[in-house]
């Protein structure tokens, strides 16, 4: 269901009473710490409730197996706020963010629904991802260090010699890691951010798309070819291999992903 029981955690008890002469205590505490140690303390992460709610909701949504059933999955603002122990406002702001990222749909006076991507949308996302990652591959051939590229090769050490079949689950993780690393090595923040969102969406259908063993075998060969092209600094070839690899997945989805729609 939508909301599992949450332990009645006490999030930020907000004292209605304002202890008047305070403020100096906290300040002095911090000050002494800083004075003795110029090394900056890791800024005490104070993510707002909005960010926390966002992260929690996103995790919850991504963890759902939303394509198993076709029934609408509705989220209840008030209930979620209650479960989180916060008010509706940060939940709403988190929801608005998730809507702009395509994870939920806010229907006025109807409810908030988890979005199921259609087959067409999935293919469009993979195509866009192909565009971004192939550009990342170009950039890697021009700016990445040999060591960085070597790191890509090391990822697949476990699977040398055709042990892919035996460890499909693990391979699936490495597979994702590989593609994320490609993007990251581009050192292009825009590419990284855009691709990350697409990736998150694709992880949600991963369970069903990466299942086939034949694809895993072909996949690892593709990856090796890509790595070789990157090592050889063959810009155009690396781009092409990455693009075709991704578009191959798009084609696969187009033909076999009947569970979509």
Partner DNA sequence: ATCTGGCATATTGTATACCAACCATGATTA
Partner DNA sequence: TAATCATGGTTGGTATACAATATGCCAGAT
- Cβ-proximal residues to 61 (8 Å cutoff; 6+ apart), any chain: 98, 103, 104, 114
DSSP alpha helix (H) spans, the chain: 24-36, 49-63, 77-84, 88-100, 119-143, 146-155, 168-185, 189-203, 206-209, 213-231, 235-256
- 35 touches DNA (CB under 7 A): no
Smallest gap, in angstroms, from Cβ of residue 119 to a second copy? 10
Stretch that binds DNA, among 71-79, 179-187, 213-221, 241-249 (CB under 7 A): 71-79
In angstroms, the CA 151 to CA 129 distance is 22
For a second copy, the closer of residues 116 and 159 by Cβ is: 116
List phi, psi (to 5°) of 75.
Answer: -110, 140
* Interface positions, 101-160, toward DNA (CB under 7 A): 106-112
Q: Which does 231 bind (CB under 5 to 8 A by kind): DNA, a second copy, none?
A: none
- 73 touches DNA (CB under 7 A): no
Smallest gap, in angstroms, from Cβ of residue 82 to a second copy? 20
Sheet containing 74-75: order of strands? 74-75, 111-114, 104-107
* Residue recorded with tokens 């979005």: 115
For a second copy, the closer of residues 80 and 246 by Cβ is: 246
How many CA atoms, within 13 angstroms, populate the side-chain half-sphere of residue 52?
Answer: 14
Binding mask 155-194 for a second copy (x = CB under 8 A): ---------------------------------xxxx--x
Stretch that binds a second copy, among 11-19, 33-41, 163-171, 212-220 (CB under 8 A): 33-41
- 92 touches DNA (CB under 7 A): yes
- 93 touches a second copy (CB under 8 A): yes
- 105 touches a second copy (CB under 8 A): yes
- In eight-state DSSP terms, residue 40 is P
Task: Count other C-beta atoms under 10 Å from residue 102's C-beta.
Answer: 15
**DSSP letters for 230-250:** HHTT-HHHHHHHHHHHHHHHH
- 93 touches DNA (CB under 7 A): yes
How many residues are there in the chain? 261
Residue ranges that bind a second copy, judged by CB under 8 A: 30, 32-34, 36, 47-48, 50, 92-93, 96-97, 99-102, 105, 108, 115, 117-118, 120-121, 124-125, 127-128, 130-132, 134-135, 139, 188-191, 194, 198
Residue ranges that bind DNA, judged by CB under 7 A: 1-4, 6, 11-12, 14-16, 18, 21, 23-24, 27, 46, 48-50, 74-78, 81, 86-90, 92-93, 106-112
């Amino acid at each position: 269901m939508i909301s599992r029981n949450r332990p009645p955690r006490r999030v930020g008890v907000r004292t209605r009473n304002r202890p008047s002469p305070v403020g100096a205590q906290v300040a002095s505490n911090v000050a002494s710490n800083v004075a003795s140690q110029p090394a900056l303390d890791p800024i005490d992460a104070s993510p707002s409730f909005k960010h926390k709610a966002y992260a929690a909701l996103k995790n919850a949504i991504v963890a759902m197996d939303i394509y198993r059933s076709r029934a609408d999955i509705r989220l209840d603002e008030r209930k979620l706020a209650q479960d989180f122990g916060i008010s509706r406002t940060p939940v709403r702001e988190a929801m608005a963010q998730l809507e702009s990222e395509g994870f939920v749909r806010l229907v006025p006076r109807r409810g908030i629904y988890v979005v199921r991507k259609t087959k067409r949308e999935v293919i469009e996302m993979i195509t866009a991802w192909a565009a971004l990652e192939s550009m990342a591959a170009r950039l890697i051939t021009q700016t990445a260090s040999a060591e960085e590229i070597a790191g890509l090769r090391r990822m697949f050490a476990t699977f040398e010699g055709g042990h892919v079949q035996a460890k499909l689950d693990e391979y699936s993780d490495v597979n994702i890691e590989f593609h994320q690393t490609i993007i990251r090595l581009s050192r292009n923040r825009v590419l990284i951010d855009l691709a990350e969102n697409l990736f998150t969406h694709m992880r949600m259908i991963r369970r069903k798309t990466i299942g086939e063993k034949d694809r895993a075998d072909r996949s690892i060969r593709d990856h090796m070819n890509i790595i070789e092209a990157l090592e050889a600094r063959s810009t155009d070839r690396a781009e092409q291999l990455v693009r075709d690899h991704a578009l191959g997945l798009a084609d696969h989805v187009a033909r076999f992903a009947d569970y979509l729609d």
